[in-house]
A and B are shown apart, each in its own frame.
Chain A
Amino acid sequence: MATLESPVAVALMEAPAAAGHRPAVEVAHLRKTYGTLVAVDDVSFTVAEGEIFGILGPNGAGKTTAIECAIGLRRPDAGTIRLLGLDPHADPHQVHEIVGVQLQSGALPAKLRVGEILEEYRSFYRDPADVDELLDVLGLAAKRGDYYRSLSGGQRQRLSIALALIGRPRIAVLDEMTTGLDPQARRDTWELIEQIRDRGVTIVLVTHFMEEAERLCDRVALIDHGRVVALDTPARLATQARGGKSVRFLPSAPFEDRLLTGLPEVSRVEREGQHVLVTGTGELVNAVILALHTAGVTARDVQLDSSNLEDAFVKLTGKNLHTEGVLA
């Protein structure tokens, strides 16, 4: 995607002027049941304008139902939803004009050409993007005259994203947007999403790719059993998962655990053969190195905490995202 940096791409994604401090998305106490099945129990979150907000959770957690309620596709049993102040169930037309949606597993007619599909959807909006520019940005320019059925999975996915962006939305909701993409296409898509955000578009991503959430999202809501079990930045969620940070090192000389356990930052000291693993909070690494230095010990082979969002996920939901979130 060599064209990503082009001024054309920049102009395309120019969003209308920001509208004050109003949040882009407000969801409060959302609830949706199907008979006795509680799909969404109680979900609340707020997304600021210009934010990339991630919704993570295993299959059946209620992510997609929550999103479908939020964009007005389903009527929730309870709760309030505002998109830039608009109620999607009271003002569906206005909401559809400013919210671009890419739903999971939506196909298109096999025998329509890429350009024809985009021209059709373009005509639905008052102030749409230019088809050629959008195709350029998404790396589909060469495919403009091709039938939908001849596109690869990744190209179909990008066309689907293009359709979500053709109306130049203020909010883009993307459900599993990089599923089925190869790693390069996925990274290209991430870059594209960041560019769109840089133009002031608020982005809500439903994803099960940890790497995607860590790389892209300003904040992440972990949803399980229809409830938000955690909501924070990816880094802070990861830190919480370990019950803090940790540092592992090889001491230059023996020392007593007491030297470190006495520090306010340290919660636990473990020996792993020659190595020492210290868990704690705050300025843990500084405190440990300083205490060792005072005792005349040097820390070698220092390794910092490697816990990530995935650990947070496993800890909070008791599930592994890659086995239960992707498959089934």
Chain B
Amino acid sequence: MSAFGQVVRNEARLVRRQPTNMIGSIGLPVVLMIIFGELPSFRQHISVLGGVPLFDTYVPIIMVLGLTMLTLLGLPSPLVSYRELGILRRLSTTPVPPSWLLAAQVVVQLCIALAGLAIVNIASVAAFGAPVPKSPGGLALSCLLAIGGLFALGLLIAALAPTANSVNAIGRLTLIPLLFFAGLWLPRPLMPAVLLDISNYTPLGAAVEAIQGSVQTGFPPATPLLVLAGYTLVFAYLARRFFRWE
């Protein structure tokens, strides 16, 4: 197996053996989906939501919730602890650069992210009667851009967090406002105009808007896609700028 393959393999083993973050990012959304799917009130068509059942409104929110848990906690934690433990430094003394470990983490977490998004999406349609996405291509693009923006944010946290413990603190603090604007506590159609305007320009607000649009109406509008692309570029630039290898 190639050297990069070996690095990815061991990173995958570590994720499997310490599944806390994987449970948070796949298990939690699935559990929420099942609960919401079983609540009769979530199945009624609600006029204020444009005649869409509350459950359908929540599917994109649940999708980005899992993705956010993964990228704000699961992605940066191992990278920061590798820096803390001197593993990145040890790697600098070998022919393989420490950036490979970062790349391997991205590969492994990307697989988990895609699996989580796919499970919630497919199960919500198959088991709970959510509509089949009107624009599968738009949905895929929306998901990829959401992954891009959030992964870049996760790497920025990995760049800035001094210790593995601080990743948790920073991740959780970032999580709450992001999820608020995603509509976790107050779905976007119910938000006052001011909040909705802000939500449109937050990473998760834009992600929910793009995913919701792809499912309910068709190819999503350009604005949320551009917002996500912009966050990806800015966060990735900052992460690269501030990342310390030791």
Contacts and interface: CB of A to CB of B under 8 A. Distances in A.
Contacts, number: 66
Contact of A71 (B78, B82, B93): B93
Given A111-B14, A111-B18, A112-B10, A123 B3 contact: yes
A269 interface: no
Q: Chain A interface secondary structure, helix, strand, loop or mixed? A: loop
Nearest to A173: B93
B89 A112 contact: no
Interface in A150-170: 163, 167
Contacts of A97: 95
* Range, interface on chain B: 20 to 34
A107 B85 contact: yes
A290 interface: no
B13 interface: yes
* Range, interface on chain A: 20 to 34
Contacts of B10: 109, 112, 116-117, 120
A103 B2 CA distance: 25
Interface string A260-284: 0000000000000000000000000
Interface of B: 1-3, 5-7, 9-10, 13-14, 17-18, 78, 82, 85-87, 89-90, 92-96
Given A93-B95, A123-B2, 4 more contacts: A106-B86, A109-B87, A117-B10, A167-B94
29 contacts: A71-B93, A73-B92, A97-B95, A100-B93, A101-B90, A101-B93, A103-B86, A106-B86, A106-B87, A106-B90, A107-B86, A108-B85, A109-B10, A109-B85, A109-B87, A111-B13, A111-B14, A111-B17, A111-B18, A120-B6, A120-B7, A120-B9, A123-B1, A123-B2, A125-B94, A125-B95, A126-B95, A167-B94, A167-B95
Q: Which 7 A-B pairs have the closest CB atoms?
A: A101-B93, A106-B86, A107-B85, A123-B6, A111-B17, A123-B3, A124-B96
Interface of A: 71, 73, 93, 96-97, 99-101, 103, 105-109, 111-112, 116-117, 119-121, 123-126, 163, 167
